[in-house]
């Protein structure tokens, strides 16, 4: 008799922006299509899925409202980003006769403490339940990064010309640098636009998720695009010579894209995000390169400074080579969904 598929509930609340839903949707898709798990996404605001998901993806994952959903005996329950599963649901989990695995999927961080926190167990204060902390990360001591099995195939099949036509990108000018720009409103974009306009070679900036009209100033053309599906957003990252990304998920996708990238980290109180930014740069850059033009540019981008575009642009070829080596090194570790499945099956005592 074939074993019954693992049932998995993923709880997600959308705090702001799209990272929470973006990560949960990717994970849900992977567990369903690559591991044949029966996945339900319990979410308080599914509106972003209208543009983020492709129509065919909807068949793979069931979507329920976060509040009031009944426990259906799932073997694995994932609470994304400490979103607090409703108490009645927790009580129903505790009443299950056979043990289940309850995970809290945490935010991505490059900080060293992740290695000692990943996989830690925490007993529920009064119910017979244990919750495990599952940390994404950049090395083997963490839960890894989301990366789909078909990522390389999709990339090989990517047709840049068709993408340009589909999204109305203008005919490329000679020596044009194509840049995607996805940032928070407080990024010093005007300073960058001024530098791009004054650039010696032409620049096309593509702004996904932006409803402004296209505009042009000197050597800069700016093309806003509607939000793309996650699949098409990957394609945009592959198309571009440089990608500005933010938060968590687009940041990871830009790394898989093997292109130079500039990251705007999600801002936190007391500037704790700047510590996290530094931890990432320490990992990402070769030893002793903490004060390179690249690090300075990224710091300026994250602190409303004035990013030195000409200096940065002169490093672009080396940065692209580095991005490839970085992705090669990351690929040596299993991806997050594979790690998560192993973790759960071990605890469920299933081979």
Q: What is the sign, positive or negative, of the torsion defined by CA atoms of 64, 70, 75, 79?
A: positive
- The residue among 233 and 284 lying less far from ligand TRH, judged by its C-beta, is 233
227, 279, 292, 299: residue in contact with ligand TRH (rule CB under 6 A): 227
89, 233, 294, 297: residue in contact with ligand TRH (rule CB under 6 A): 233
- The residue among 38 and 109 lying less far from ligand TRH, judged by its C-beta, is 109
Catalytic residue at 20? Answer: yes
Please state, in angstroms and rounded to a whole number, the distance separating the CA atoms of residues 327 and 92. Answer: 42
Contact flag: residue 238 with ligand TRH (CB under 6 A):
no
Long-range contacts formed by 277-283: CB under 8 A, 24+ apart = 277/302, 279/109, 279/110, 279/111, 279/112, 280/110, 282/110, 283/110, 283/138
Contact flag: residue 82 with ligand TRH (CB under 6 A):
no
Helices and strands (DSSP H and E) totals, the chain: 14, 13
Contact flag: residue 106 with ligand TRH (CB under 6 A):
no
Contact flag: residue 340 with ligand TRH (CB under 6 A):
no
What b/e readout covers 66-94, taking b as 16+ CB neighbours within 10 angstroms?
A: beebebeebbbbbbbbebebeeebbeebe
Please state, in angstroms and rounded to a whole number, the distance separating the CA atoms of residues 341 and 163. Answer: 34
Contact flag: residue 75 with ligand TRH (CB under 6 A):
no
11, 13, 22, 78: residue in contact with ligand TRH (rule CB under 6 A): 22
Q: Active site residue: 9, 20, 241, 335, which one?
A: 20
H/E run at residue 201: none
248, 259, 277, 343: residue in contact with ligand TRH (rule CB under 6 A): 248
Q: How many CB atoms lie within 10 A of CB 53?
A: 21
Contact flag: residue 299 with ligand TRH (CB under 6 A):
no
Give the shortest CB-17-to-ligand TRH separation in angstroms: 3
- The residue among 189 and 347 lying less far from ligand TRH, judged by its C-beta, is 189
The SS3 of residue 322 is: helix
Contact flag: residue 190 with ligand TRH (CB under 6 A):
no
208, 294, 322, 333: residue in contact with ligand TRH (rule CB under 6 A): 208
Q: Active site residue: 75, 248, 249, 258, which one?
A: 248
Please state, in angstroms and rounded to a whole number, the distance separating the CA atoms of residues 170 and 161. Answer: 11
Q: Give how many residues touch ligand TRH by CB under 6 A.
A: 24
Q: Under the rule (CB under 6 A), what is the footprint of ligand TRH?
A: 15-20, 22, 52, 107, 182, 208-209, 227-230, 233, 246-251, 266
């Amino acid at each position: 008799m074939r074993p019954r598929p693992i049932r998995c509930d993923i709880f997600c609340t959308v705090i702001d922006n799209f990272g929470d839903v973006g990560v949960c949707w990717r994970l849900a898709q992977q567990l369903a299509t690559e591991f044949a798990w029966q996945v339900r996404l319990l979410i308080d605001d599914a509106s972003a899925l209208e543009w983020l998901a492709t129509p065919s993806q909807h068949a793979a994952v069931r979507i329920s409202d976060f509040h009031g959903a009944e426990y259906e005996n799932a073997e694995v329950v994932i609470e994304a980003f400490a979103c607090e599963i409703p108490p009645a649901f927790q009580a129903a989990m505790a009443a299950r006769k056979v043990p289940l695995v309850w995970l809290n999927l945490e935010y991505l961080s490059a900080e060293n403490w992740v290695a000692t926190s990943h996989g830690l167990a925490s007993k529920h204060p009064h119910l017979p339940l244990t919750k495990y902390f599952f940390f994404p990360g950049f090395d083997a001591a963490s839960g890894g990064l989301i990366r789909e099995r078909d990522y390389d195939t999709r990339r090989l099949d990517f047709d840049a010309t068709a993408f340009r036509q589909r999204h109305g990108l203008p005919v490329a000018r000679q020596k044009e640098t194509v840049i995607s720009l996805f940032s928070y409103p407080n990024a010093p974009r005007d300073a960058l636009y001024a530098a791009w306009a004054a650039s010696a070679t032409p620049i096309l900036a593509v702004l996904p998720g932006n409803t402004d009209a296209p505009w042009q100033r000197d050597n800069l053309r700016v093309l806003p695009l509607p939000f793309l599906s996650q699949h098409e957003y990957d394609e945009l990252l592959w198309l571009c010579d440089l990608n500005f990304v933010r938060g968590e998920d687009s940041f990871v996708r830009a790394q898989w894209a093997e292109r130079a990238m500039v990251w705007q980290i999600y801002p936190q109180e007391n500037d704790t995000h700047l510590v996290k930014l530094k931890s990432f740069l320490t990992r990402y850059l070769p030893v002793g390169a903490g004060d390179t033009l690249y690090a300075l540019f990224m710091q300026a981008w994250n602190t409303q400074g004035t990013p030195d575009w000409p200096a940065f642009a002169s490093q672009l070829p080396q940065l692209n080579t580095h991005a490839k080596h970085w992705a090669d090194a990351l690929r040596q570790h299993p991806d997050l969904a594979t790690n998560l499945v192993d973790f759960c099956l071990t605890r469920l005592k299933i081979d």
